[in-house]
Chains A and B, each alone.
Chain A
C-alpha cells in the first residue's frame, strides 16, 4: 500500500508493524508526531501497545529499558531529549536489551536550534547502541522493522537507534510503501525475552555491581556482540529485500563502481548527492564518481568500507559530516573513515578530506556536491588540501576560492596557499538539467498552505506520481510568512528528494505577502514559470510590477480565493480554493483524477470544501478579477486600529482596564 506519509508517521508505522508492546515517550521536536501517532493508534485500539506518558526523556529511557527486559519496546526522541537519556542508555546496551529508539536528528545547541543535524546521534555514538541512518521516510519505516530483527538476534541482543534528519526527513511528506502486517510478521518473529523480569522460577538481577575482573570480561563480551551486527545487519537487509522488495546494505555505493572520486555521507542528504552523480557521470574530463552512503554507523563496518574503496581504486574521498566533534581531528564520520582506511589499507590509502555542513537545518543542495567533487578532483591530482575540516556555506571560509576579498584575513594567512592551488574546474559546475516540477506555496502561518500542499502530494501519490512536500517549520507565529515546497518528479525514474530551488510555480495565499518587506516570493522563479495569487485587489499586471517579473514568458494567475471561501461559508479557510488553483497552474496532475482523492479525503464540511476546490480550479484566471462589494465597515475593528495609547488619558486607561477585567 503506497501512501503519502511524513517521516515521523512512517516511523510510527514501523513501530506498529513491529508489534511494539510498550511505548513510553516524552515529546520533543521534531520527533513528537511519531509518538503522537503511536499513542493515537493505541488509544483507538488499532495498535496493541501500552503507551506510557512519562515526565521526561530520562524516564522514557528508563521505562523503555525496564519494559525491554520482558516485551518488545520502543520510543522516539530528539536532540536534548536524547542527551537527557544518556545517563541510562548504557544500562540498556550493557544489559544486552534489544529495543529501538527512533531519533529525529536535531541540533543540540546552544544556542537553541530546533532544526536538523546529526549532533545528537554523534553525541551518543559511544553508548553501545547500534546506529542506523535513513535517507527518507520509507527507510525509517523499513529500518525500524529491521532494527528489531537485528537487535533481537541472539548473537547480538543490543538496542538500536534509527536516525532520520529532523524536519527535512521527519516532516517531509513523500510516497511510502507500507508493508502488510502479514509480510512483516513473516519477516520479524515475535519478541523473545531472554531474561524476563517476572519469572519467579528464575529470578534475575540486572545491572549488578561487578568488580574490575568481571566488568572488563563483560565489556569484552558486549563489544563482541556489537561486532556481530556488521554481518547480521547485512543478512537482515538482504532478507528484507527478498521478502519486501527493498534491499538494504550496511553502506551503499551509488555511481561508478570504479569511482576515482567519492563523497561519503549519511542520511537524507544523499538525495542531492545522487542527483549530481547522475548529472555529471560520463561528462568530458570527469572521472568516475560515486556517493558512499553509510547506513550502519555503529558498529562501523570499517574493513568492508576500506576494501570497497580499495577495490574501486578510489583516489580521493570527501566526507560530509552533518555534525561536529568539538576539538577532534575530524568530525565523527570522517574520523571513523580515516581510521578505517589507515587501519585496513595502510600505504594504499586514498586522500581524505572532511567537510562540515548541514548544521542546524542548513540546507544541503546539489551545487554543494559539485563543489565537493571539484575538491576531490583537485585532491586526486595531488594538489594541496586542508588536513582540518572544511565548512559548507561560510563565505569567509570557502572550500574553493571565488572572491579573495570575502575571505577572513586570518584564514587567508593560514590557508592562502591551499586556496591558490585549488582551482575551480568548470566541468563540475555546469548547469544541471531540471527533472522536477517544483512548487512553492507562500502563506501566512495558520492559513493552511501546508495542508494544501499535503493534499496535493497525497493526490499525486495516489495517481502514481513521485511527489513530495517539504514544509518549513520553525518559530513562526500565527500570521508570519511561511512557505512549503512541493516537488513533482517529471522524468519518471528514480526517487529524487533533491530540490533545486528553481521554481516552476509559486502560489501566494495572501496578497499582503506581495508587499511584505523581506520577502521576494518570485525571486527563485524559473523563466517561463507561473505565479498564482489569491487577490481581488491587484491585477495580474500590477502583480508583475510588484514582483518585478520582467520575463514575458511568466504567467500570472489570480484567484479570488478568500471571496469564494466566504461565499461557501468556509470563513477564512481558503486553502482548498488555492488547492484547486494549484491544479489549474500545474500541468502534471490531472484535476479530475485528483478530485477522486479529494472527494474521499477533504476535511469537513466535505461538500463545501469539494466545491471550493472546483471553484478554485475554474475561477483561476489570467484576467483581472472584479472587485467585490466593499464589506460594511466594522466600527469596533476601526476603533481598535485607530486607537493610540498616547492619546488615552489615565482615567480612560483605568476605565478600559475595568472593562477588560469585567470581560466586556
Chain B
C-alpha cells in the first residue's frame, strides 16, 4: 500500500510538470544547485574523464562535457542545450579549431525554454461558432465580414500564445469531404470509436486495481482508435478498453506508465517477457 502511494506521488510530480525528487534531471530543466541526493544521482550520469591536465577536471555525460577546477567539489550546476558548455575558464583549453576534447563549443549557450506554443493547437471556427465566442484582440467586424464573404465554407483560425490571441487567418475550408480531418489526422480524444474488433487477435483488458486512473490517462491519450475511456473519478477512477474499438495495436501496453506488468492483461495473462517475445518475435 505504501509502495503504491509512493508511486502515485511520483506520477503526480511528472504530470504536473515538476521534476521528481529522485528522477534524472532533463537537459536544461533547471539551474538550481543540486543537493546531496541529486549529486549522488548525477554521479551515475557524469563520469570523470581520465586526463593529464593539472588544472582542470572533465566530467562527461553522453556528449556533454563539464569542466571544473582540479579537485573542486563543484558539480554541473546547469546543463545547456549546447553539446558543450564553454565556461570562461575552459575556453583556454580550446584547440585550434575552437573545439574542446573534439566537441564543438558554443560560446554562449542558451537554456532551452519550455515551448508552450507547441502545446496550443489553434481554434478553427465557423462564422456561427465565432459569434458565440468572445475573443479579446480580434477585430470582429472585419473577421465577420471576411467570413460572410466566403459563405458557409468560411473558417477562422485563432492561434493563441501565452493565453493571448497571437494570430488569426480567415480562409475557405478546402475540404470537400468534411468527415475527414485536414491531413487525415485522428484526434485521439474526439474520435468516434468504430468497430474494429475483427482486426484483433488478442483480448486486451485493463486491470482496474493496477490502473492509476485519472492521474495518468496516458493510454487514453495515445490510443489511435480512441478505444480507451476513463471511468469514475478520484482515487477510484480507472481506464477501460472498449472491446469494439480496440484493434489490438499494443500501443497502450507499450506506453503504459505502469509498464503494463500488472495493469494491462492480454488474453487474461500478464504480458510478460515470454509472451512479449512470442508476439514481437524477439
Contacts and interface: CB of A to CB of B under 8 A. Distances in A.
Contacts of A204: 121, 185-188
Interface string A83-96: 00000000000111
B172 interface: yes
Interface string A197-216: 11111111111101000100
B151 to A, nearest CB: 14
Interface in A208-244: 208, 210, 214, 217-218, 220-221, 224-225, 228
A546 interface: no
A194 to B, nearest CB: 6
A45 B106 contact: yes
Interface string B172-202: 1111110110111111110000000000000
A192 B118 CA distance: 9
B177 A196 contact: no
Contacts of A200: 119, 221
Contacts of B32: none
A95 B183 contact: yes
| Range, interface on chain A | 35 or more
Contacts of A113: none
A501 interface: no
B104 interface: yes
B184 A196 contact: no
A155 interface: yes
Contacts of B179: 214, 217
B213 interface: no
B185 A206 contact: yes
A205 B120 contact: no
A210 B186 CA distance: 10
Given A70-B118, A154-B169, A157-B182, A203 B188 contact: yes
B30 interface: no
Given A154-B155, A154-B169, A208-B224, A197 B118 contact: yes
Q: Interface residues of B: mostly helix, strand, loop or mixed?
A: mixed
B153 to A, nearest CB: 10
A367 B162 CA distance: 61
A96 B182 contact: yes
Given A71-B118, A94-B183, A97-B183, A224 B157 contact: no
Contacts of A205: 185-186, 188, 224
B180 A218 contact: yes
Interface in B18-70: none
A43 interface: yes
Interface string A631-655: 0000000000000000000000000
A198 B119 contact: yes
Interface string A295-307: 0000000000000
A539 interface: no
Nearest to A206: B185
A287 interface: no
Contact of B122 (A189, A194, A203, A208): A194
A20 B56 CA distance: 38
A554 interface: no
A190 interface: yes
A205 B227 CA distance: 13
A193 interface: yes
Contacts of B119: 196, 198-201
A195 interface: yes
Interface string B59-97: 000000000000000000000000000000000000000
B277 to A, nearest CB: 26
A43 B118 contact: no
Contacts of B174: 155-156, 221, 224-225, 228
Nearest to B112: A50
B129 interface: no
Contacts of A71: 118
B184 A94 contact: yes
Contacts of B143: none
Contacts of A371: none
B184 A95 contact: yes
A193 B160 CA distance: 11
Nearest to B222: A203
B171 interface: yes
B120 A43 contact: no
A202 B118 contact: no
Nearest to A223: B176
A88 to B, nearest CB: 15
Given A154-B157, A201-B119, A224 B186 contact: no
B167 A192 contact: yes
B108 interface: yes
Contact of A196 (B106, B118, B157, B183): B118
Contacts of B167: 189-190, 192
Nearest to B173: A155
B205 interface: no
B159 interface: yes
A153 interface: yes
A194 B175 CA distance: 15
B280 to A, nearest CB: 19
B182 A194 contact: yes
B228 to A, nearest CB: 12
Contacts of A206: 183, 185
A103 to B, nearest CB: 23
Which residue, of B159, B185, B188, has the highest number of chain A Cβ atoms within 10 A?
B185
Given A157-B182, A206-B183, A208-B184, A196 B120 contact: yes
A95 B185 contact: yes
A138 B234 CA distance: 62
A154 B118 contact: no
Contacts of A221: 174-177, 180, 182
Contacts of B189: 202-203
Nearest to B217: A200
B106 A198 contact: no
Contacts of B172: 155, 228
Contacts of B115: 198
A43 B187 contact: no
Interface of B: 104, 106, 108, 115, 117-122, 155, 157, 159, 166-167, 169, 171-177, 179-180, 182-189, 221-222, 224
28 contacts: A43-B104, A43-B106, A45-B106, A71-B118, A95-B183, A96-B183, A155-B171, A157-B182, A192-B167, A193-B118, A195-B182, A196-B119, A200-B221, A202-B121, A203-B189, A203-B221, A204-B187, A204-B188, A205-B186, A206-B185, A208-B224, A210-B184, A214-B180, A217-B177, A218-B177, A221-B180, A225-B174, A225-B175
